[in-house]
Amino acid sequence: MAIIPQMNLFSWTEIEELGDLDRLRLVIEYLPDDKLMRTLEKERKNGRDDYPIRVVWNTILAGVVFEHKSIESLIRELNRNAQLRWLCGIENGKVPPSYVYSRFMKKLIDNEDEIEAIFLTLVEQISKCSPILESLLRSTEKLFHRLRIEKTKMKKKTAAGIQMPITA
C-alpha cells in the first residue's frame, strides 16, 4: 500500500515556529485596521500627538502577541526591548505611559463597532481558506454577539440604579 502525504492548506506550526517579533510583524501588516485608525485619528483632529494613534495601537497589539498580563508589564517590555519599540513605530524611544493606554482603551471601547468589523473581516478572509475554521469562527462570533447583548443589559440595569450581584 502506498502512503500519499497530504499537504496542509494551512499549518499553525509555521506560525508557532516564528519568534514573537515576527508574529507581531505579521499581525501589524495583515490586520485590516485602517478604518479604525482613520476614525481614531479623525477624532483626535488637531490634538496633541506625543504618542501617535498607530504607535499606541501597535503597542497594544504587541501586548496581545507577547501575552502581557498588564499594561505595566507591556511598558516594561517596551522600555527594555529596542527592536519591539522600532517595530511598533516608537522612533524617539519615548514609550507611552500608562495613562495614555487608559485613555486609548476608552477610545477603543467607544469604537467597538469598528473592532467588531475587523473581526468579521478576518472571519470572512479565513472562511475562504477553510470551512472548518469558518464554522469555529462563526460560533465565536455568536458568542461575542451574546456577550455584547448581556453587556448592554447590564449597562441598562446599572443605569436604572439596580445593583448587579458580583459572581465569581
**DSSP collapsed to 3 states, 136-161:** HHHHHHHHHHHHHHHHHHHHHHHHCC
Q: CA torsion sign, 78 to 84 to 89 to 91?
A: positive
**Helices vs strands, H then E, count in the chain:** 9, 0
* 25-34, 111-120, 131-140, range with the lowest pLDDT: 131-140
Q: CA torsion sign, 101 to 16 to 37 to 81?
A: positive
- Same domain? For 30 and 85 the reply is yes
Q: What's the confidence (pLDDT) of residue 168? A: 40
What is the rounded (10 degree) CA torsion for 56, 63, 33, 97? -10
- Same domain? For 144 and 80 the reply is no
d(CA 149, CA 143): 10
- Same domain? For 36 and 60 the reply is yes
58 CB-near residues (< 8 Å, 6+ apart): 28, 87, 88, 89
CA angle (26, 23, 20) in 5-degree steps: 150
**CB 53 within 8 Å of CB 37:** yes
Mean of the pLDDT values across residues 33-42? 94
Q: What's the confidence (pLDDT) of residue 49? A: 75
Residue 2 in any domain: the answer is no
Which of the residue ranges 102-106, 115-119, 133-137 has the most confident prediction, judged by mean pLDDT?
102-106
Q: Taking 50 as the threshold, does the pLDDT of residue 102 lie above it?
A: yes
- Same domain? For 84 and 132 the reply is no
The residue ranking higher by pLDDT, 27 or 13, is 27
- Same domain? For 122 and 89 the reply is no
Q: What's the confidence (pLDDT) of residue 11? A: 57
Looking up cell 443605569 gives: 159
The structural domain count of the chain equals: 2
- Same domain? For 102 and 152 the reply is no
- Same domain? For 154 and 93 the reply is no
Q: Where in the sequence is the domain holding 122, given as residue range(s)? A: 112-158
- Same domain? For 143 and 73 the reply is no
CA angle (29, 31, 135) in 5-degree steps: 135
Mean of the pLDDT values across residues 110-118? 90
Exposure on the CB side of residue 103, measured as CA atoms within 13 A: 12
